[in-house]
C-alpha cells in the first residue's frame, strides 16, 4: 500500500508536534505525556510510510535497515533492526516515550530546520518550551488540517491526514486546538484507517490508557 504525504512541508510527527504546541509560548496544549505517546506513534508511522517497517497483528518488525540520512527515523530504524523479530507496537510506543525522549527528538528536528526554538526554563524543574520562529509557518499544519476537515468528508482524506486527525483525537488535543465541528469530525477518522495504521493507532491508545492508570495510582 502506498501512503501519500498529507503535508507538503512537514513530516507527520513534525505536524503533530506543531499542532500540539502553542506557536507563541511553545508550551504543549495538553498533557505532555499523552502528546509523547502520539508523537511516538507518528514517528513509527513515518517508517511505515517509507516501507522501512511492517506491522501485522499488533506487532512490528524492520524490513529495510538502510539509512535515509534523516537522523530521527534512521535512529528508530536502527533501534528496531537490532532487536530481531517482531515485537508489540505498544512496547515500542512506551520505549520511544520513556527512553528515547521522543518529544525532544522531534523538537530538535524542527529546531534544526529553523521552525522552532528550544528554550529551557531558567528555574530547576522548569520544562522545555518550543516557541515558533515564524508563528504563521508553525500554524500551517493546524490551518491546513482544519480546512481539509471542513471541506472534505473524512472518507475522502488521504491516509496520513486521517492518521494525524486520529492521533490528535486520541491524545485529547482536539478540544484544546480545534473548534467543536472539526473535533467531532476527527472522531470518525480512526475508523477509516487501513489495518496496519489502525493497529498502530490502537497501540497508541493502549499506551495512553496505561499512562492514565499509572497517573491515577
Residue 1 lies in a domain: no
Residue 81 sits in a domain of what CATH number? 1.10.3630.10
Residue 35 lies in a domain: yes
Residues 176, 29 contacting (CB under 8 angstroms): yes
Residue 4 lies in a domain: no
Q: Give pLDDT tens digits for 95-140.
A: 999 999 999 999 999 999 999 999 987 665 568 999 999 999 999 9
Query: Average pLDDT of 146-171?
Result: 94
pTM of model > 0.85:
yes
Residue 151 lies in a domain: yes
Residue 108 lies in a domain: yes
Domain, as residue range, for 208: 12-120+127-215
**Total structural domains within the chain:** 1
Strand partners, 129: 119
Q: Is the pLDDT of residue 39 over 60?
A: yes
Q: In this prediction, what percent of the chain has a pLDDT beyond 70?
A: 91
SS (H, E, C) 23-82: CCCCCECCCHHHHHHHHHHHHHHHHHHCCCEEEECCEEEECCCCCCCCHHHHHHHHHHHH
- What pLDDT does 212 receive? 59
- What pLDDT does 98 receive? 93
Amino acid at each position: 500500500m502506498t501512503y501519500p504525504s498529507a503535508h507538503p512541508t512537514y513530516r507527520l510527527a513534525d505536524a503533530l508536534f506543531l499542532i500540539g504546541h502553542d506557536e507563541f509560548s511553545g508550551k504543549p496544549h495538553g498533557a505532555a505525556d499523552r502528546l509523547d505517546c502520539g508523537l511516538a506513534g507518528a514517528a513509527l508511522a513515518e517508517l511505515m510510510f517509507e516501507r522501512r517497517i511492517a506491522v501485522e497483528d499488533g506487532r512490528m518488525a524492520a524490513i529495510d535497515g538502510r539509512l535515509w540520512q534523516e537522523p530521527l527515523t534512521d535512529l528508530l530504524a536502527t533501534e528496531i533492526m537490532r532487536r530481531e523479530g517482531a515485537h508489540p507496537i505498544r512496547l515500542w510506543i512506551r520505549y520511544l516515550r520513556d527512553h528515547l525522549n521522543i518529544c525532544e527528538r522531534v523538537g530538535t528536528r524542527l529546531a534544526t530546520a529553523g521552525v522552532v526554538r528550544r528554550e529551557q526554563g531558567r528555574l530547576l524543574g522548569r520544562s522545555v518550551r518550543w516557541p515558533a520562529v515564524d508563528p504563521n509557518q508553525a500554524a500551517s499544519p493546524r490551518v491546513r488540517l482544519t480546512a481539509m476537515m471542513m471541506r472534505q468528508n473524512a472518507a475522502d482524506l488521504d491516509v496520513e491526514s486521517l492518521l494525524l486527525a486520529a492521533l490528535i483525537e486520541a491524545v485529547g488535543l482536539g478540544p484544546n486546538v480545534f473548534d467543536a465541528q472539526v473535533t467531532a469530525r476527527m472522531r470518525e477518522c480512526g475508523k477509516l484507517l487501513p489495518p496496519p495504521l489502525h493497529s498502530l493507532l490502537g497501540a497508541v491508545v493502549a499506551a495512553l490508557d496505561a499512562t492514565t492508570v499509572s497517573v491515577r495510582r
